[in-house]
Amino acid sequence: MNLPLLELRRQPSRFIVATVVLSFLATLLMFLGGLLDGLYLGSTGAIRAQQADVIVYSESARDSFLRSRITSEQRAQVEAAEGVEEVGGIGFVLLGAQVPGETDIANVAVAGYETPPKGVPAPPPDGQGIADTRLEDAGASTGDVILVGPQQTPIEIIGFVDDTSYLQQSSVWVNLPTWRAVQNANRPDSTVSDDIVQALVVSGTGDLVTSIDTATAGATSTLTKDDAVLALPGVKQQGDTFNQIIYSTLVVVLAVVGLFFSLLTLERLGLYGVLKAIGASTRRLFAGVVLQAVIVAVVAFVIGSLLAIGAAAALPAAVPLQLTPARFLSTFIGLVVAAVLGSAVSLRKVTKVDPASAIGNAS
Amino acid sequence: MTVLDMRDIRKVYRSGDIDIVALDHATVQVDHGEIVALLGPSGSGKTTLLSIAGGLLTPTEGTVVVGGHDISEYNAKQLTEFRRENVGFVFQSVNLVPFLTAEENLLVVDELGGNKGGKAAKGRARSLLEELGLGHRVKNLPGQLSGGERQRVAIGRALFNNPKLVLFDEPTSALDTKIGEQVMELIRTEMKARDTAAIIVTHDTRMTHYADRTVHIVDGRLDAGTVTA
Amino acid sequence: MFLALKEMQRAKLRFGLLAGAVGLLVFLILFQQALLGGLINQFIGALKNQSADVLVYSDQARKNLEGSIIPPDQLAQVATVEGVADAAPLGESTFTVTAGGEERDAVVFGYELGRPGAPTTLIEGRLPEQGGEAVASEKDRADGFDIGDVVQVQPDGVEITVVGVARDINYSVSPVLFVDFATFEAAKRTRNPDATTILPSVVAVQVASGSSPESVATAINDQVDGVEALTRQQAVDGSPGVSSVRSSFAIILGLFYLVVPLVTGLFFLIVTFQKASALTLLRAIGASSRTLVTSLLIQVVVVMLTGSVIAFGLYAGALQGVKNLGVRVEVQPVVITSLVVLVLALVTSAIAVRRVLRLDPLSATTGGGVHV
């Protein structure tokens, strides 16, 4: 027999208010987290998929592919650097693409590569590409020829790969000559010659960041894969902004739990007096309040999850919402911690209940 | 043999700059199986006396010995444990846990002590309730019981741990006269059957004849007591 | 009044928690509205804050500026539609520019000086008066787009001097330069020297006084083949990215707006239930229902106002942290949001008010106070 659990079971109506409010807040937390994850995953897929240790940009590029240019001389220096084992050139160009049979323009990032990212085969022949599954969602299928950019450069889609998008655009993985052709035709203001790539993906051993930048005498800026992800435009700011909103929402959860459980405690002061008189300790009674708050938070988590999953299914595909298991877990932990802290508001009231108040008390 | 031995108890409350003497050199003894009625107007100190006897309050001066334990110097934690194991309480009206059945309201005493009770405790709760004429009510919630039935459940809870002393705070004040008398009769039977000592606080002189002795309290002072039964 | 405030004084923790929760929630609403506004302005500020009432796209473009080209005959046809006071070319293109010593992407809008398509939110300097002058987006001042700065358009280095800055005129999350159409043409030509003519992206239309942009847009769509005319607002709403940002935020904001009145309404309902016997007593000793209801509503208002003040403080502080999004502290959204949540809270408090009105002063005399 467990008093707090029995109360939850036999008088659930007392907890409905807190549960409803917390469920909405849980939905919000998951929704916000899901958007953050969606934005993060959608922006960074192309870099996370690289099977390399570091990414080498030109020094003036401020760690952006689009601004970076690596010459063949610099590449030779990088290849000769200490610890370097494998070097591949890479280049991106962001363009609109017409998918056959679709009215909307799809956003693509045509990506030229030598070293295949995770899940991508060796570079295909000229004019063919492996697209991110986002493009499949936008209506493309294997064998389609998409027309890229203002010049409508054709690329035939020969397969799809998961989670490789770049800055919310679907990557289309092509060989380096095809990338240069697309770039030069559609971006005449920033053409690249045949010996140029935007950046290098490098694997090897030891402190590659230092050894590469030393080998090129500072002409390159080398970043670990994780740093390169954070250096993508918007990734850090989005993370900071959304996390600020998520933490504030958790504080609201804390306040709401504190509020409604202090009201519940207020209703139970008489009962607590009797229970203390017949031998209940403050610790035991307070543990009951905490347990109830945690259970309400858990129930709210379940309802909130279902609402968030429902909302995610109902939203248009363009909304970059992704619900990940990690997000469910962190939301769960956040809710439970906020519930425990929120219920602490009632501690003083529970402590102050005088067992002697049970006597001479008519109502 | 004496179960409750209170000697020279003084209890002083401070209210602002004024000391209020609630009990003044009160001395009282209650023996095994003895039922004492404590009679007095409101504000006379009977609540304070009962609270000190039950370990809910500590006296300013004097000694309290219950069942061989001198509780005069106990701290709050020791008092909590003492009450759980040695004293039974029946209060005026807020008495039972509203979301627990009659049976569970008895078992709550075990639960608070951290005992898992189990089958044995359950059996004891049932037989106690049957003894109190509530055999058909074990699974009912307090809200489904009448006032008299609720007080009977409270008596069952007070007796559940086989305390040496049971304290009753106006147990019949929320009941009509007839039910009140039935409850008093039951209290007397149960106390006598178990040889348990009891103090019953009341302001209703019609109830005093169920006690062995009546002690009057006025302005914090006790009289010697009159034998009533 | 006396009763309402006395009670709140006695239960500081509870009312404080409520005001704190409301404050945080209102803050989150304000903050996210500002973020949404900031984001949308960064995507399509240039469209929103330019002077044309109607924008005419080629119908192939699907409301995307980048994909729209208007040949001269369509421009001429649009100009003849009734209700069109002026129809001017407006060009848009993304260039690599050198600004503040660094290469970066910038979006250049070319319009005919003195005609529709000019930026409307100039906050400093002046509009361009000749070729080679530009109004730049305010947000990018520090990055080499301030008044007096010279921006070079690559690859050939066409020079543009910033002579004014305007608020919220970014496009595609990039810096924006509004220049005269000839300068836009020159910049585009350096990129594509073989082009015979440089075509505008859209037609910027100013409607005649007395005509509504909606009716003029409809008339253009009816009378000119191969174009899609949109009012400024339709062009903004239809731009790529805007609707997905809006629908994400709509759900989040909707939920927040729901939680505020839910928390307040239910709080006051529970509190009213808890003190029902005290309220009954007050009725019995002669307090009118009106007094008690007023007292309840005063508490709602005090809590919501306190919450709004807390929210404003947090909001002003938080916006310092996201300055790069181009969001500003403004009083108007704070006032509007506070009023909206206040009204919502008052509406949900109606349940508590109903409970107060149902109190029967008679029951105070018949006991009824025994709770088990």
Q: Is C96 on the interface with A (CB under 8 A)?
A: yes
> One digit per residue, pLDDT tens: chain A, 363 residues?
688 999 999 989 889 989 999 999 999 999 999 989 988 998 899 999 999 999 999 987 777 787 788 999 999 999 999 999 999 999 999 888 989 988 777 889 999 999 999 999 999 999 999 999 999 988 999 999 999 987 889 999 999 999 999 988 899 999 999 999 999 888 766 678 898 999 999 999 999 999 999 999 989 999 999 999 988 877 887 888 889 889 989 999 999 999 999 888 988 888 999 999 988 889 999 999 999 999 999 999 999 999 999 988 888 777 788 899 999 999 999 999 999 999 998 998 999 998 888 887 654
What string of DSSP letters covers chain B? Answer: -EEEEEEEEEEEEEETTEEEEEEEEEEEEEETT-EEEEE--TTSSHHHHHHHHTTSS--SEEEEEETTEE-TT--HHHHHHHHHHHEEEE-SS--S-TTS-HHHHHHHHHHHTT---HHHHHHHHHHHHHHTT-GGGTT--GGGS-HHHHHHHHHHHHHTT--SEEEEESTTTTS-HHHHHHHHHHHHHHHHHHT-EEEEEES-GGGGGGSSEEEEEETTEE---EE--
Name residues 300-319 of chain A within 8 A of C (Cβ): 311, 315-316, 318-319
Chain A residue at shortest CA distance from B119: A1
Of B47, B81, B99, the CB nearest to A6: B99
- Cross-chain residue pair A278–B109, CB shorter than 8 Å: yes
Chains that touch C (3 or more CB pairs under 8 A): A, B
Predicted local confidence at residue C322, as pLDDT: 65
Mean pLDDT score, B18-47 = 89
Chain A residue at shortest CA distance from B42: A360
What is the least distance, in Å, from the CA of B89 to any CA of chain C?
16
Measuring CA to CA, which residue among A142, A97, A109, A95 is closest to residue A43? A109
Q: Is C371 on the interface with B (CB under 8 A)?
A: yes
Of A25, A62, A320, the CB nearest to C259: A25
Please tell me the distance from the alpha carbon of residue A226 to that of residue A53, in angstroms, as a whole number.
Answer: 9
B174 neighbourhood in chain C, CB within 8 Å: 370
pLDDT-derived band at B117 (thresholds 50, 70, 90) equals low
Which of A306-310, C233-237, C311-315, C323-327 has the weakest average pLDDT? C323-327
What is the least distance, in Å, from the CA of A339 to any CA of chain C?
14
Q: Is C372 on the interface with B (CB under 8 A)?
A: yes
What is the least distance, in Å, from the CA of B178 to any CA of chain A?
20
Predicted local confidence at residue A311, as pLDDT: 86
Name residues 158-197 of chain C within 8 A of A (Cβ): 173, 191-192
**Chain C interface, best mutation among B93, B146, B153, B175, by max C CB count within 10 A:** B93
Prior bond to C261 cis, omega within 30?
no
What is the least distance, in Å, from the CA of B138 to any CA of chain A?
15
A315 neighbourhood in chain C, CB within 8 Å: 247-248, 251
Q: Taking 80 as the threshold, does the pLDDT of residue C231 lie above it?
A: yes
Distances (CA, A) of C133 to A25, A32, C79, C181, C323: 51, 43, 27, 11, 27
Please tell me the distance from the alpha carbon of residue C333 to that of residue B102, in angstroms, as a whole number.
Answer: 57
CA dihedral C268, C271, C277, C282 (to 10 degrees): -50
Q: Taking 80 as the threshold, does the pLDDT of residue C1 lie above it?
A: no
B93 neighbourhood in chain C, CB within 8 Å: 370-372
Predicted local confidence at residue A102, as pLDDT: 86
Chain C residue at shortest CA distance from A252: C21
What residue spans define the domains of chain C? 2-43+242-365, 60-225
Of A11, A279, A360, the CB nearest to B169: A360
Predicted local confidence at residue C369, as pLDDT: 38
Chain A residue at shortest CA distance from B53: A356
Helices A235-267 and A13-48: angle between axes, nearest 10 degrees: 170
What b-and-e string marks burial along A161-175, b requiring 16 or more CB atoms within 10 Å of the CB?
bebbbbbbbbbbbbb
Chains that touch A (3 or more CB pairs under 8 A): B, C
- Cross-chain residue pair A279–B81, CB shorter than 8 Å: yes
Mean pLDDT score, B46-55 = 91
Could you tell me how many CB contacts below 8 A there are between chain A and chain C? 130
What residue spans define the domains of chain A? 2-44+235-362, 47-231
What string of DSSP letters covers A105-171? Answer: EEEEEEEEESSPPTT--SPPPTTEEEEEHHHHHTT--TT-EEEETTTTEEEEEEEEESS--BTTBEE
Mean pLDDT score, C30-35 = 87
Predicted local confidence at residue A363, as pLDDT: 43
Mean pLDDT score, C127-138 = 95
B95 neighbourhood in chain C, CB within 8 Å: 372
pLDDT digits (tens, 9 = 90+) for C359-369: 877 776 554 43
Q: Are A257 and A18 in contact (CB under 8 A)?
A: yes
Query: Mean pLDDT score of chain C, rounded to an integer?
Result: 87
**Chain B interface, best mutation among C370, C371, C372, by max B CB count within 10 A:** C372
What is the least distance, in Å, from the CA of C366 to any CA of chain B?
13
pLDDT digits (tens, 9 = 90+) for B135-157: 999 999 999 999 899 999 999 99
C243 neighbourhood in chain A, CB within 8 Å: 316, 318
Predicted local confidence at residue C371, as pLDDT: 37
- Cross-chain residue pair A319–C247, CB shorter than 8 Å: yes
Q: Is C358 on the interface with B (CB under 8 A)?
A: no
Q: Are A92 and A166 in contact (CB under 8 A)?
A: yes
Of C32, C267, C324, the CB nearest to A245: C32
What is the least distance, in Å, from the CA of A294 to any CA of chain B?
20
- Cross-chain residue pair B83–A271, CB shorter than 8 Å: no
Q: Taking 50 as the threshold, does the pLDDT of residue C140 lie above it?
A: yes
- Percent of chain B exceeding pLDDT 70 equals 96
Predicted local confidence at residue B229, as pLDDT: 55
Q: Judging by DSSP bridges, how do beta strands A105-113 and A145-148 pair with one another? A: unpaired
What is the least distance, in Å, from the CA of B98 to any CA of chain A?
9
Name residues 45-84 of chain C within 8 A of A (Cβ): 62, 64, 66-67
- Cross-chain residue pair C244–A316, CB shorter than 8 Å: yes
- Cross-chain residue pair A252–C259, CB shorter than 8 Å: yes
pTM for the whole structure: 0.83
Q: Is A225 on the interface with B (CB under 8 A)?
A: no
